[in-house]
Amino acid sequence: MAIPSMTHNDALIVVDVQNDFCTDGALPIEGGETVVPVLNQWIKKAEAETVPVYASRDWHPRKHISFQAQNGPWPSHCIQDTRGAAFHPDLTLPLSTIVVTKGTRFDHDQNSVFDETGLAYHLKQESITRLFIGGLALDVCVLASAMDALANGFEVILLKNGTRAVTGEGAAEALNRMEKAGVRIIEDDPESTDIPFCTKAPEWAEHARPNEDADDTCDDGRAG
C-alpha cells in the first residue's frame, strides 16, 4: 500500500517524546528514544509540505494523581519544568511547532491529547481533517489520542515505526484496537514516499528548539 502524501488538511502530532519516557528517564519505555530519528523524518516531510506540527507533552504538577505516591499507577514522571519533562534533545521540532500541554489536571490524568485541551476545536478551526500520529507511549497516550481523534471525526494514520509501547502485550493490543476502530497503520519510512524533501533548511532552523528556554532553566541547578 502506498504511503499517503502529506497535504493541506493534514497535521503531524508528535506525542510525548520527553526525556522521562526514554532510557534513563523516570518512566523509561524500552527503545523510547528510537522514535526520535523516525519522527524527525516525518517532521522534515511535514515542513516540506507546510503541514503543521503539534507536539504534546505530559506536564504533571508535583503530587499528581497518576503517581504511585498518590496511589496512581505510575512512578512520578514529567514533572513540570524538570529536565525529565523536556522534549528529547534530538527531536528537531520546528519553531512553528504548537505545543499541547496535558496531564496538568489535579483530578484526573489526561492520556489523550484531546482530553480537555481544546485541541479538537483548534484543529477544526484550522480545517485539519487528518492526523499523522507517532510518539510515546503506543499503549497509553498514543492509543488514547488516536481513539479520541477518531471519535472527534479525524482520519488517523499511525506512524508505527515512530512509536514504542510500555509493554509488548500492550503494543499488540493497542495496534489491534486501533486497527479495528479504523486507524490506518503505516510502517514505511517517510523517505520512501513520493513527497520531495525541502531543500536545505536555514542554519538557524536546524538548531532551533522551542524548549530551549525550559532546558536553560533546568541547567541552573533546579530539580530535574
According to CB under 6 A, which one of 17, 119, 133, 137 is a site residue for ligand VGL? 137
Site for ligand VGL contains 87 (CB under 6 A): no
Tell me the per-residue interface mask from 139 to 158 with ligand VGL, x by CB under 6 A, - otherwise: -xx-----------------
Q: Which is nearer to ligand VGL, 27 or 157 (CB)?
A: 27
Three-state SS string over the chain comes to CCCCCCCCCEEEEEECCEHHHCCCCCCCCCCHHHHHHHHHHHHHHHHHCCCCEEEEEECECCCCCCEHHHCCCECCCCECCCHHHCECCCCCCCCCCEEEEECCCCCCCCCCCCCCCCHHHHHHHCCCCEEEEEEECHHHHHHHHHHHHHHCCCEEEEEEEEEECCCHHHHHHHHHHHHHHCCEEECCCHHHCCCCCCCCCCHHHHHCCCCHHHHHHHHCCCCC
Closer of 75 and 210 to ligand VGL (Cβ):
75
Q: In terms of CB distance, is 61 or 153 closer to ligand VGL?
A: 61
Answer yes or no whether residue 33 interacts with ligand VGL by CB under 6 A.
Answer: no
- The partner in contact with residue 16, picked from ligand VGL, Zn ion, none with C-beta cut-offs of 5 to 8 angstroms by kind, is ligand VGL
Work out whether 58 is an interface residue with ligand VGL (CB under 6 A): yes
Contacts with ligand VGL by CB under 6 A lie at 16, 27, 58, 74, 136-137, 140-141
